[in-house]
Amino acid sequence: MNCKEAENLVPAYADRELDLVPSLELEKHLDSCPACSQIYKETISLNANIKELADIYQAPASLTARLKSQLGSQAKESGAVPIPVMTIESQSRVSYPWALAASFAAMMLLAFLLGRNNSSQELMTNEVVSAHARSLMANHLTDVASTDQHTVKPWFSDKVISRLP
C-alpha cells in the first residue's frame, strides 16, 4: 500500500468503517510510515474535537417551540395527516404477518424465476439439437462432390473470400 491509498483510507479507518483486510493493510502501512501515522493521529484528534464541541450549539427553546407551532399549523392548512407513532409492541404485532407474507412472496418469486430459467435453458438445448438434426437431413453436407483440385480450390477460395470482412 502506498501513501496515497493510505490517505484515502484513513478517514474510514478512523471511523471504523473499513473491512478486515484493508484495515490490516493500513495498520501495517501506518506502522512503517510516520507521515501517514501523523495524518491518522490528526484525524482521530479532529473527530474527538467534533464530538466534544458538537453539543455546544443547540437551538434556543423559543426557536424550537416556534418551529413546532409553525410546522403544526402548516400541516393543518395543507391537510397533511400526521404519521402515527408505533410502539415496539404494536410494531411486532403488525410486522410479523407482513414479514411472513413478504418472505413467502420472495420464495415464490425465486421458485418462479429458477423454474423459468431452467425451462429456457431446456428450450435452448432443444432448439440446438433440432437445428443440428435439420442440418443433417439436408443433402448439402458435401456441396462440391469432386476430388478434382481445379474444381474444389476455386469453390473453397470463393467461400473463404466471401466470408472475410
* More confidently predicted of 151 and 10: 10
Contact 45, 15 (CB under 8 A): no
pLDDT digits (tens, 9 = 90+) for 95-127: 677 777 888 888 888 877 776 655 667 777 888
pLDDT digits (tens, 9 = 90+) for 48-97: 888 777 766 677 889 888 888 887 766 566 665 556 555 555 555 556 77
Could you tell me which of 55, 40, 49, 45 has the C-alpha nearest to residue 10?
Answer: 40
pTM over 0.75: no
User: Residue 164 phi/psi, 5° resolution?
Assistant: -70, 145
The alpha-helical segments, DSSP class H, found in 15-163 are: 20-32, 34-53, 61-78, 88-137, 149-163
Contact 40, 13 (CB under 8 A): yes
Contact 114, 122 (CB under 8 A): no
Kindly indicate the confidence band of residue 40, based on its pLDDT and cuts at 50, 70 and 90: very high
- pLDDT (0 to 100) of residue 43: 92
Measured between alpha carbons, how far is 6 from 33 in angstroms, rounded to an integer?
10
Contact 43, 49 (CB under 8 A): no
Q: 21: helix, coil or strand?
A: helix
